[in-house]
Structure formats: structure tokens, C-alpha cells
């Protein structure tokens, strides 16, 4: 009797533990069928395997490969009471159909549909280094454990837990439509192209491939010198060109499905063609020529400043550098540009590169990792910010989309449970940028937490409000880059270091003085407004017409300037900081009220609620710090009282 009781106790405990949620399963279905579902049929592929494991329905499912179905990753789901048929022309199309069906099953609404992704290239960019650190990573160390992969003869043996983890990662990506990853940091080590690492990359790539995920690498432009002691990395030098050709051939021998290179050149100290007085086109084309016979691409980043255009307004430099080269790039080169012209600030206008580069394919780079939006300590849902970008730059004008990953080896992958929503939203928008931020938030909350509307409704609202709140308590009205140096967490509007380039210093960006605040980028200032297409060029240039949420980005505005609300600029600034702080207080209140509900959903395990609670408490404190530091500092110029 006693034994039975003990057994039951242990069994119950195990069930609870199994059910409790530490965030590691993300938004994915977790409960596998005890035996593979018998009603799912089709030829052998990953989609079939996933459905056999996780499809719970009794309506038979048929997977059909049909060459006449839509191109590439497109798929069709035809569902009636007798049968659910998934049709695609490729196995990756079937895989996306399978995940769509599983998602509909989880959401309790299985419908017929036809889907086609908006972009062919839907990529994560990892800023992971070989030493296991992650640049701008806030969720632990890199998930690539290079030391847990051993070269054994011709093969690479990967520890089983690592294998499983990489497959879980691949599955999460595939479930939201991501079809490629750049494994390493754009500040790339030449060692990435060494034999040893390439073989390990191949081993990772082999695990990703069944999930429709292609592998890409960031390369260091000076690799021929660092790896093989060539005297130069000049892209017009025949030895250098031969070196790259051989290296690329070697990569494709190992990985026939390799995707191509991502390149940060002549930017923030990275080597590049400019070191030999060659252009970005010369550099990109050399790599493109080596990749072209294999079908590979070059994604060449436009995040370039401080080299050829020193002294020019930093936000103008990408256009100044790349616009004259437009038309000179090979067909397999894509220019990859951050959404805004500066650097992933909480709010930026769109980058005018998207207006000025007309002959070369463009890709946008978004930052999923929250370098400038509270890192993994603030609840900030980024979909509204990305949607804002798409309201200025038509998705149809872009060849692809890349997101700087927020993934590390933390149990919950992203550090903050709600940062998972940004990974999820990135994938969903990469597939379909027309989806609303609200629809994505709702669906993510249901998949990740609970279907209970009393949880989903208020948290959807919190998520939707969170980005604007962050802008308000950090940098309202178009202020930008007033972060603390280097780590970019917390405010430092007084920041100035004579040993740093001016364009790294907060004082350069807000230009506060006794007359007013803001950066004059109008035609009476740096004329950055001229890089925009109409109507934005005129709108941004004109103080009265400029949207107020970008006012101080484009204009130096007197402290007593009258805003649309009737308040002075100073009062408006104070009101925004107040609003930001009040919003975070409100988010925290909502979260506190949801405690019993989430605990019920999490089988009494307080872990997720508690982990978010601690971060919200911190976010409240940090929002207050932003308000106080900024208003104290700016108030010393305006000499006007706060809270009027
Ligand atoms: O945002 C800045 C970051 C750097 C980053 C750089 C870039 C990878 O602070 O850490 O380097 O941009 O995008 O190249």
C-alpha cells in the first residue's frame, strides 16, 4: 500500500514536471502520438514524419507532391470532413503545409487555404562567434557547440544532445517558414573557412537540410591572407580570385546545398575591397563569380560608414557609397540593408537605400535580438515596428528578408519568454508581411501559453502597446542613439568620448543646446531628407509637415515650439517619457492579475510567470531611469520645469 502510494506520488510528480513549461518547447506542439498516426499518408519526407508524430485528428491526411502545384515553397490545403489533402510541388512546400496544419490543429480551426511566401529568402543571421559568445546575444552562449563536435576520420561526430538541440532549432524555424541561416557573425573570423570548421558546418547543415533550411556563412574579406598567407586580398588580383574560387569549390564539394556568403566589408574595422582602393562592387563581384557556377549568392551589407565618407552625416553614407555603384553588381549579388539608415534604433525612418538602389536586388535586415530595445530584459514586441517599415517599403520590391537572431543556449532559447514572440513574428512576417501584428501576437500567445481568452486578450493588448511604450520611455519624438556606450543598455544622453568617432557619441545625435533639440537633416542642415522619394522627401524636410514621431530625427526644434497637441516641445517630451513609464506600470499590473490564470495553465508551476514578473519589475525601474536621466539632462538646456 505504502509502495503504491509512493509510486503514485512519483508518477504524479513526473506528470507535472513533464507538463510544466519552462519555455523550451517554444510555440510547437509537444505531445507526440504514442504510436505514429495511421491516418497520415504520403511518400517519405520530413512533413510525413512530423504529421505522424503530432497530427491528432481522425480525418485522414494525404500528402501529395504535384509538379503542377505552385512554385517552390507554395502549398495548398484542401480540408473537408472526409479528407485533408496537402499539395505542393516540393518537399519543403509540403513541410510548410504540415506545420500550417499542425498550427491550425493547435488553434482549433482547420481550414482550406493556399499559401505562397512573399520572399524566397527568409533568413536568420546569427551573430555567433567561434568562441561560443554571441555578439548582441542576450540569451546565453551560442547554440553551436563547436567543441562538442569531433572530427573522426572523414566524419564529424556530434554529441547526441547537441544533435537533438539543433534539430529542435531547425524544427522551430521551419514551423514558421524560415528557410536559411547564416551560422556566424558578420564580424567574421577567417577561421570559419578552415577545413575543420567547414566540416563541422557541413555536419550542422546536414541536420538542417531535411527541414528545408539552407546554410550560409559570413566571411572575412581578408581570409586569403589570414588562412593561406597570400600577400593581398585585392579582389582584382588573380591569385586572390583563384583562392576564392577554390574555397567555394571546396565548400560545395562538402555541401552541395550551400547557400552563399554574407559580407560586412569596410565597416567598423572589417577588411574589404576599399583596403585596395577597389569598390564594394569589385569585392562583391569577385565572390559572386566564384559562387555563380554553383548557384550561390552574395548578400553584401550596406551598413557602411566612416570609411569613404568620413564627416558626412552617418545616416546619408550608405546611399552615398552604394548608389553610384547601382547597376555594377553581378546578378547573384543582393544588397542587404538595415530597416533604418542608422542602426536598429527603437524608431527610425526607413532607409533611403530602398529608394535609391533600383537596379540591384535588395534585402532588408531586421534585428530580432533586442540590442536597442531593452535586450532580453524588456517586454517589447517588435512586429509593429517591422510592419511600420513595410508601410514605406513594399515587400514586392525586396528579394529577401533577414533577421538577426535572438537565440542562445538559455533554456527558453531567447532569454525573455516574450522575446520568443519576436522570433516567431519575424518568421510569420517573412512568410506573409500582410499578417497583422495583432493576429501574430494572438496566435503566438495561444500556441505558447493558453487559449484562455482572459489571458490572450489582455496580453495581446500589452504586446501591441509595448513597442510604442519603449520608444516613449527611451527616445520619443525621433530622438536616437542616446544609449550608454558599447553595451547599448540604458540612457547616456551626455555621452561623449573624445577617443571615439563622433558618430558613436549620443551628443552628436540629439544636438541639444539652449535653443532646442534635434538633428537638422533638412535642406538647411545635412540634407539627408533629399535621399528620400516623394512625398517623404518634402514631408520630412518641412518642419510643419514632418511626422511628430520623427521630428527630432530630421529637425533641430526650439524648446517652445508648439506641437499639434498644443503643448510646447519640452512639455511634449516630458509627456512622452511619462506615458512610457505609465505604460510599463500598466503592463506589470496586467501581468500580476494574470498570475492565477497562467499558473493554472502551467499546472501550478510558477516558473514562467515568475521569470516574466522579474523582468517586468526591472523594466519598470529601467523605464524610470530613462525618464529621469533624459529629462534631467535635457532640462539643463531647456531650463524649463518638468511635469507642467
Ligand atoms: O548595431 C551595430 C552593433 C554591432 C554590429 C553592427 C553591425 C555585428 O552594435 O555589434 O556588429 O551593428 O550590424 O555590423
- What is the 3-class SS of 393-458, one letter each residue? CCHHHEEEEEEECCCCCCCCCCCCHHHHHHHHHHHHHHHCCCCCHHHHHHHHHHHHCCCCHHHHHH
Centroid of ligand 1 to alpha carbon of 128 (angstroms): 12
Domain 40-115 of CATH type 3.30.379.10: yes
- CA 183 to chain CA centroid, Å, is 14
Beta-bridge partners for 362: 335, 398
Centroid of ligand 1 to alpha carbon of 484 (angstroms): 15
Q: Work out which ligand 1 atom sits closest to the CA atom of 187.
A: 8
Residue among 185, 314, 371 whose CB has most ligand 1 atoms within 8 A, to mutate: 371
Domain spanning 473-519+556-638, CATH architecture = Alpha-Beta Complex (3.90)
**Cα(489)–Cα(369) distance, integer angstroms:** 13
Q: Where in the chain is the domain with CATH 3.20.20.80?
A: 121-435
Pocket around ligand 1 at a 6 A CB cut-off: 127, 135-136, 186-187, 264, 268, 303, 343-344, 371
Q: Give the model's pLDDT for residue 154.
A: 87
Q: Where in the chain is the domain with CATH 3.30.379.10?
A: 40-115
**Cα(554)–Cα(480) distance, integer angstroms:** 11
Q: Work out which ligand 1 atom sits closest to the CA atom of 264.
A: 14
Burial 41-66 (b: 16+ CB within 10 A, else e): ebeebbbbebbbbbbeeeeebebbbe
Q: Where in the chain is the domain with CATH 3.90.1330.10?
A: 473-519+556-638
Q: Give the model's pLDDT for residue 127.
A: 98
The matching CATH number, chosen from 3.40.50.1220, 3.90.50.10, 3.20.20.80, 1.10.1370.40, for 121-435 is 3.20.20.80
Centroid of ligand 1 to alpha carbon of 366 (angstroms): 12
Centroid of ligand 1 to alpha carbon of 408 (angstroms): 17
Q: How many helices (H) and strands (E) does the chain have?
A: 20, 17
List of residues 6+ apart from 514 with CB closer than 8 A: 637, 638, 639
Beta-bridge partners for 333: 298
Sequential DSSP letters for 481-495: --BPTTT--SB-TT-
Q: Give the model's pLDDT for residue 17.
A: 45
Over the chain (644 residues), the average pLDDT of each successive run of 10 is: 50 48 95 97 96 98 95 96 97 98 97 97 98 98 97 94 98 98 98 98 98 98 98 98 98 98 97 98 98 98 93 96 98 98 98 98 98 98 98 98 98 98 99 98 98 98 99 98 97 96 94 98 98 98 98 98 98 98 98 98 96 98 98 98 76
For ligand 1, atom 12, the nearest C-alpha belongs to 343
- CA 471 to chain CA centroid, Å, is 18
* C-alpha cell, 437: 501584428
Q: Give the model's pLDDT for residue 10.
A: 47
| Segment holding 367, helix H or strand E | strand 362-367
* First CA to last CA distance, the chain: 73
Residue among 135, 142, 263, 501 whose CB has most ligand 1 atoms within 8 A, to mutate: 135
Q: Which residues are known to be catalytic?
A: 268, 343, 371
Q: Work out which ligand 1 atom sits closest to the CA atom of 344.
A: 1
Residue among 187, 305, 306, 318 whose CB has most ligand 1 atoms within 8 A, to mutate: 187
* C-alpha cell, 625: 531611469
Q: Work out which ligand 1 atom sits closest to the CA atom of 186.
A: 8
Q: What is the pTM of this model?
A: 0.96
Centroid of ligand 1 to alpha carbon of 134 (angstroms): 12
In this structure, the dihedral spanned by the alpha carbons of residues 541, 543, 547 and 552, taken in order and rounded to 10 degrees, is 90
Residue 275: half-sphere exposure toward Cβ, Cα within 13 Å: 17
Amino acid at each position: 500500500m505504502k509502495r503504491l502510494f509512493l509510486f503514485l506520488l512519483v508518477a504524479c510528480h513526473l506528470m507535472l514536471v513533464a507538463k510544466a513549461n519552462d519555455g523550451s518547447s517554444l510555440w510547437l506542439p509537444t505531445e507526440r502520438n504514442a504510436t505514429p498516426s495511421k491516418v497520415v499518408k504520403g511518400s517519405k519526407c520530413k512533413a510525413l514524419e512530423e504529421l505522424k508524430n503530432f497530427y491528432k485528428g481522425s480525418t485522414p491526411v494525404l500528402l501529395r507532391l504535384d509538379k503542377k502545384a505552385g512554385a517552390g515553397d507554395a502549398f495548398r490545403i484542401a480540408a473537408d470532413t472526409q479528407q485533408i489533402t496537402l499539395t505542393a510541388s516540393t518537399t519543403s512546400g509540403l513541410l510548410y503545409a504540415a506545420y500550417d496544419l499542425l498550427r491550425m490543429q493547435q488553434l482549433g480551426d482547420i481550414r482550406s487555404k493556399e499559401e505562397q511566401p512573399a520572399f524566397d529568402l527568409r533568413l536568420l543571421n546569427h551573430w555567433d562567434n567561434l568562441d561560443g559568445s554571441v555578439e548582441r546575444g542576450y540569451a546565453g552562449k551560442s547554440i553551436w557547440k563547436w567543441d562538442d563536435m569531433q572530427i573522426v576520420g572523414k566524419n564529424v561526430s556530434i554529441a547526441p544532445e547537441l544533435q537533438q538541440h539543433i534539430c529542435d532549432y531547425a524544427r522551430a524555424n521551419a514551423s514558421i517558414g524560415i528557410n536559411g541561416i547564416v551560422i556566424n557573425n558578420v564580424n567574421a573570423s577567417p577561421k570559419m573557412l578552415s577545413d575543420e570548421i567547414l566540416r563541422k558546418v557541413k555536419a550542422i547543415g546536414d541536420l538542417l537540410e531535411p527541414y528545408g533550411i539552407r546554410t550560409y556563412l559570413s566571411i572575412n574579406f581578408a581570409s586569403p591572407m589570414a588562412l593561406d598567407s597570400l600577400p593581398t586580398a585585392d579582389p582584382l588580383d588573380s591569385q586572390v580570385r583563384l583562392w576564392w574560387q577554390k574555397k567555394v569549390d571546396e565548400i560545395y564539394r562538402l555541401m552541395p546545398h550551400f547557400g552563399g556568403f554574407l559580407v560586412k566589408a569596410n565597416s567598423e574595422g572589417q577588411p574589404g575591397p576599399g583596403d585596395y582602393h577597389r569598390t564594394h562592387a569589385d569585392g562583391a563581384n569577385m565572390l559572386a563569380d566564384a559562387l555563380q557556377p554553383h548557384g550561390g549568392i552574395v548578400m553584401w551589407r550596406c551598413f557602411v560608414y566612416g570609411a569613404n565618407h568620413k564627416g558626412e552625416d552617418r545616416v546619408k553614407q550608405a546611399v552615398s557609397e552604394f548608389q553610384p555603384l547601382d547597376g555594377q553588381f553581378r546578378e547573384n549579388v543582393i544588397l542587404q540593408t538595415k530597416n533604418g539608415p542608422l542602426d536598429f534604433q527603437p524608431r527610425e525612418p526607413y532607409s533611403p537605400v530602398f529608394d535609391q538602389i533600383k537596379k540591384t536586388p535588395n534585402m532588408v535586415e531586421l534585428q530580432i535580438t533586442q540590442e536597442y530595445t531593452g535586450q532580453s530584459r524588456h517586454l517589447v514586441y517588435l512586429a509593429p515596428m517591422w510592419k511600420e517599415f513595410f508601410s514605406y517599403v513594399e515587400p514586392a520590391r525586396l528579394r529577401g528578408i533577414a533577421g538577426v537572431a535572438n537565440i542562445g543556449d538559455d533554456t527558453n532559447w531567447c532569454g525573455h519568454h516574450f522575446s520568443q514572440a519576436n522570433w516567431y513574428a519575424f518568421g510569420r512576417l517573412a512568410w506573409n508581411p500582410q499578417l497583422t501584428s495583432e493576429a501574430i501576437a494572438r496566435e503566438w500567445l495561444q500556441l505558447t501559453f493558453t487559449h484562455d481568452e482572459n489571458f490572450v486578450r489582455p496580453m495581446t493588448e500589452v504586446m501591441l502597446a509595448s513597442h510604442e511604450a519603449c520608444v516613449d520611455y527611451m527616445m520619443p519624438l525621433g530622438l536616437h542613439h542616446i544609449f550608454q556606450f558599447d553595451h547599448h543598455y540604458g540612457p547616456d544622453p551626455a555621452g561623449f568620448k573624445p577617443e571615439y568617432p563622433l558618430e558613436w557619441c549620443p551628443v552628436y545625435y540629439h544636438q541639444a543646446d539652449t535653443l532646442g533639440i534635434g538633428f537638422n537633416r533638412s535642406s538647411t542642415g545635412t540634407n539627408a531628407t533629399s535621399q528620400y522619394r516623394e512625398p517623404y522627401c518634402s514631408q520630412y524636410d518641412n518642419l510643419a509637415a514632418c511626422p511628430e514621431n520623427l521630428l527630432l530625427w530630421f529637425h533641430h526644434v526650439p524648446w517652445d515650439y508648439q506641437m499639434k497637441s498644443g503643448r510646447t516641445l519640452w512639455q511634449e517630451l516630458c509627456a512622452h517619457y511619462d506615458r512610457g513609464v505609465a505604460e510599463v506600470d500598466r503592463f506589470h499590473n496586467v501581468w500580476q492579475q494574470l498570475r492565477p490564470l497562467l499558473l493554472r495553465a502551467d499546472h501550478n508551476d510558477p516558473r514562467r510567470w515568475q521569470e516574466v514578473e522579474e523582468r517586468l519589475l526591472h523594466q519598470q525601474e529601467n523605464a524610470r531611469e530613462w525618464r529621469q536621466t533624459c529629462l534631467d539632462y535635457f532640462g539643463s538646456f531647456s531650463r524649463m520645469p518638468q511635469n507642467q
